[in-house]
């Protein structure tokens, strides 16, 4: 059985994306990732995303649109993950990052300079080449669209 994970791609007006580096004591220590985490039993994807953003960054989720999905097999006790990436708009401009060694705002073309978790590779490539533009996707979606209705890329197995 696969574990569902929600992940936020947050883009500022200057096109920089928020990334976080996992702590030294975490699994996959010092790897970079987008904020997010596991969906808990009984949570919708939007509820999980909002909770994770509150816990990790102390911010409020305003909008989220699915932009990509990956099925990833980590092996060992971690097993299979079903990761849904969202273009996200948050209310606050000031972050209070908790569970990260550090956070950075980077341009899409700079993402390849960071050591990301393997499951992020396809999305990194699509962001870096401009095939996925989170702010444009958010702007093009009606404001009151249900979270789970927009089409997202088919799962990509790694």
User: So what's the pLDDT on residue 73?
Assistant: 83
- Predicted TM-score (pTM) of the model is 0.86
Residue 77's domain is classified under what CATH number? 3.90.79.10
Domain count, the chain: 1
In angstroms, rounded to a whole number, what is the distance separating the alpha carbons of residues 117 and 78?
13
Please report the pLDDT score of residue 150 as a whole number: 40
Domain that includes residue 57, residue range: 3-138
Q: What angle is formed at CA 81 by the lines to CA 32 and CA 146, rounded to 5 degrees?
A: 90
Has residue 147 been placed in a domain?
Answer: no
Evaluate whether 35 touches 119 at the Cβ level (below 8 Å). no
Write the pLDDT tens digit of every residue in 14-45. Answer: 999 999 999 999 888 999 999 999 999 999 99
Considering the domain boundaries, does residue 111 fall inside one? yes
Residue 156 domain flag: no
Q: Is residue 150 part of a domain?
A: no
Residues 6 or more apart whose CB falls under 8 angstroms from that of 121 comprise: 158
Is the residue at 154 inside a domain?
Answer: no
Per-residue tokens: 134? 């989170």
| Residue 73 maps to a domain | yes
pLDDT digits (tens, 9 = 90+) for 52-75: 999 999 999 999 999 999 998 866
- Long-range contact set of residues 22-29: C-beta below 8 Å, sequence gap at least 24: 22/100, 22/101, 23/99, 23/100, 23/101, 24/101, 26/99, 27/78, 28/117
Q: How far apart are CA 87 and CA 136, in angstroms?
A: 9
- pLDDT score of 87 more than 80: yes
Structural domain contains residue 158: no
């Amino acid at each position: 059985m696969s574990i569902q994970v929600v992940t936020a791609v947050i883009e500022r007006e200057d096109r920089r994306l928020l990334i976080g580096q996992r702590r030294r004591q975490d699994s996959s220590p010092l790897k970079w990732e987008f904020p997010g985490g596991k969906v808990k039993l009984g949570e919708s994807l939007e509820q999980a995303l909002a909770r994770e953003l509150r816990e990790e960054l102390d911010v409020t989720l305003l909008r989220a649109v699915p932009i990509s999905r990956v099925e990833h097999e980590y092996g060992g006790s971690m097993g299979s993950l079903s990761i849904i990436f969202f273009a996200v708009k948050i209310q606050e401009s000031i972050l209070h990052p908790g569970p990260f060694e550090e956070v950075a705002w980077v341009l899409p073309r700079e993402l390849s300079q960071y050591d990301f978790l393997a499951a992020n590779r396809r999305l990194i490539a699509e962001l870096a080449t401009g095939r996925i533009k989170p702010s444009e996707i958010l702007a093009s979606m009606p404001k009151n669209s249900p979270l789970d209705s927009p089409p997202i890329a088919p799962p990509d197995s790694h």
